[in-house]
């Protein structure tokens, strides 16, 4: 019995130390991708060790549908955004999947790994590449980060039985950063 208590105390101390470290440096959280003997990290701040492939600004809408899933609420259906390069030239689209497709024919579909809530706007995200396609720039992407979000939150009212299936399009913008984690 004493051994179990000692393990519980040690485990509690390790957990407390880990939580204290994260609380002191919240921007250091991120996702690691193992690559042989070395891990590449994608973080919310600028300390990512993965190779930058592309950074683009997404501008468009988040589409929500009124549905009754344990109560009436607006549920995210899909994003619909245009991707812009640093010179403000349209270079691709962002849509359901979530998927990003460039005009060069390459694309990446993401799978959510981490989310960071942001006050008054949609959260920041880190996603792994679920699949890639084409021969262009996104074909080697292993992770996508969404930051610098503005807008896009689901409405808090207006979804009820009379509006079942209705859609709303809420304007948003975000920075999408694409990384090669190999």
Q: Where are the domains of the chain?
A: 2-30, 42-180
Residue 163 has pLDDT above 80, yes or no: yes
d(CA 58, CA 119): 19
Angstrom CA distances, 180 to 42, 85, 115, stand at 10, 18, 20
Q: Look at residue 181 in the predicted model and tell me its pLDDT.
A: 87
Q: In this predicted model, what pLDDT tens digit does every residue of 66-77 receive, in sequence order? A: 999 899 999 999
pLDDT at 11: 34
The structure tokens listed for 90 are 């349209």
177: tokens are 């950063």
Asked if residue 31 lies in contact with residue 113, where contact means CB atoms within 8 angstroms, the answer is yes
66, 68, 79, 84 from 75: Cα distances, Å: 6, 9, 12, 27
| Token pair of 4 as six digits | 């179990």
Q: Can you give the pLDDT at residue 2?
A: 44
Query: pLDDT digits over 51-64, tens only?
Result: 999 999 999 999 99
Mean pLDDT within 82-98: 97
Confidence at 13, pLDDT banded by 50, 70, 90 = very low
Looking at residue 160, the DSSP 8-state letter turns out to be: S
pLDDT at 48: 82
CA dihedral 149, 136, 37, 14 (to 10 degrees): 10
Average pLDDT value over all residues in the chain: 84
Mean pLDDT of 2-19: 36
pTM of the model: 0.79
Say what percent of the chain tops pLDDT 90: 70
Contact 76, 64 (CB under 8 A): yes
């Amino acid at each position: 019995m004493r051994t179990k208590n000692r393990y519980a105390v040690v485990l509690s101390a390790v957990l407390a130390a880990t939580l204290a470290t994260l609380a002191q440096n919240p921007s250091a959280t991120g996702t690691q991708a193992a690559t042989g003997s070395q891990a590449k990290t994608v973080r919310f701040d600028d300390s990512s060790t993965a190779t930058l492939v592309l950074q683009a600004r997404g501008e468009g809408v988040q589409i929500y549908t009124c549905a009754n899933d344990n109560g009436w609420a607006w549920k995210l259906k899909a994003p619909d955004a245009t991707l812009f390069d640093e010179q403000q030239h349209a270079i691709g689209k962002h849509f359901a999947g979530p998927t990003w497709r460039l005009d060069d024919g390459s694309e990446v579909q993401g799978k959510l790994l981490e989310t960071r809530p942001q006050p008054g706007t949609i959260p920041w995200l880190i996603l792994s590449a679920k699949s890639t396609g084409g021969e262009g720039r996104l074909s080697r992407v292993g992770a996508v980060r969404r930051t610098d979000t503005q807008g896009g939150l689901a409405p808090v009212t207006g979804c009820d039985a009379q509006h079942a299936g209705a859609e709303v399009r809420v304007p948003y913008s975000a920075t999408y950063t694409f990384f090669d984690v190999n």
